[in-house]
Structure 1
Amino acid sequence: MGRLTATMFVSLDGVVQAPGAPDEDRQGGFDLGGWLAPYVDESMNEQIAEWFSRADAFLLGRRTYEIFAAYWPRVTDPAHPIAGPLNTLPKYVASRTLDRAEWANTTLIADDLPARVADLKQRTARELQVHGSGDLLRTLTAHDLVDEYRLWICPVLLGRGRRLFPEGAAPKALRLIDTATTDTGVAVHTYLPAGRVRTGEVGAEEA
């Protein structure tokens, strides 16, 4: 059985909307798209390439799929550490609005997403990877389908935009298993699910 891993770029105040480009996602009038660009460096690229090398398949939301499909098929070098896996490995797109997907090796998932993803994990030897796809990731988290979160936390406060875990998300505990920092100040935290949230009283003495 494979593992479902989720990689996200996140601002310090939890925003995940449109990290890559100004026009990537202007929903809600968001005008700060491209906020990730100042923090991209070689160490980030190397870590992303290493993670992509572990993939057996990709699971994407519709918006992320459309962004990827508009760019990566044009990168034809099979040895490229990102384009190579994306162009050749199976891709699954969670969408009720797409009626076709022309990128090679792409399958649409329109219904029964939790069951379909659980089945994909059973049939994946290594990693079923989610990149971006915030709405999809929130659904997967709600159904306890994520095995590892890889969060790139950028030192920027955006003050608005769609957040990774919005108000009302189910309480869940996570366990930090790895951390690193890039030269541009991005904190790379890797977490595993750790069950329910435990509470207590700070400073309370045992009877």
Structure 2
Amino acid sequence: MGRIAVVNWTSLDGVIQSPLSPDEDRDGGFERGGWVPLYSDDTLNDFMQTSTVNAAGMLVGRRTYEILSDAWSEADESEPAIAAMNRMPKYVVSSSPVERAWQNSHPIEGDLSAAISAIKERTDGDLVVFGSGTLVRALAEHDLVDEYRLMLFPIILGHGKRMFDDTGHLARFHLSDNVITASGVAILTYTRDTQA
């Protein structure tokens, strides 16, 4: 049985928009992109690589899929995380058609909860969710997330797309791991609390 693990960079005020580069996502006039590289170090990079390499599959929204596909589908596979992303199944949730040029990509159609539950049934390991704010909110609303791996950055961005809104389902998690990087990023892993 697979597990859904949300792996996201977030600012102190909950913003997840355009973390890697200024031009990644300017929706809503967002001009503060590229805030993650300022804090990058080996600990952070190792955490992201481990989360990627150990994943059984990727679950992403359309916009994140397009960003990742553009960046990594043709990249040098000598890097273990890139090779892992290219080989693993990628499940794309979108309300509009997506050009699926990236190998091993599959659209998720119909009822989100039923479709994801079926994918979890046939998966052995973690289905990681990177970025994908709209999808993360939908997963929370349907109570489908098993683990959050959040990299909390010591920065307030003031505005931008956030990971959560007011439609989430009540769910309890416990802190199962935590690391503080030299640059002050808190890497926090919250695992689903099985005792309701």
Q: Normalized against structure 2, the TM-score is what? A: 0.93
Q: Distance in 2 between matches of 1:6 and 1:18?
A: 17
1:59 to 2:59 alignment? yes
SS at match of 1:191: strand
Give 1:170 shift: 4.0
2:44 corresponds in structure 1 to: 44
How far off is 1:30 after superposition?
Answer: 1.1
CA RMSD of aligned residues (A): 1.7
Distance change in 2, residues 1:125/1:195 (3 Å): closer
Relative to the length of structure 1, the TM-score reads: 0.88
Unaligned runs of 5+ in 1: 198-207
Question: Are 1:8 and 1:16, in contact at CA under 8 Å, matched by a contact in 2?
Answer: yes
Runs of 4+ in 1 over 4 A off after TM superposition: none
1:185 maps to which residue?
Answer: 184
**Residues 24-173 of structure 1 mapped to structure 2, 5 A cutoff:** 24-77=24-77, 79-173=78-172
Q: Are residue 3 (structure 1) and residue 12 (structure 2) matched?
A: no
**1:141-177 residue CA offsets vs partner (Å, 9 max, x unmatched):** 1111111000000000111111111245444432111
Distance 1:196 1:135, change over 3 A: farther
CA shift in 2, pair 1:92/1:11, >3 Å: same
Conserved? CA contact 1:91–1:105, under 8 Å: yes
Cα gap change, 1:99 to 1:161, in 2 (>3 Å): closer
Count of residues in Structure 1 that have an aligned counterpart in Structure 2:
196
Percent sequence identity is 41
Q: What does the per-residue CA deviation read over 1:165-191, in whole Å, with 9 as the maximum and x for residues that have no partner?
A: 124544443211111011111000000
Gaps of 5+ in 2: none
Larger Rg: 1
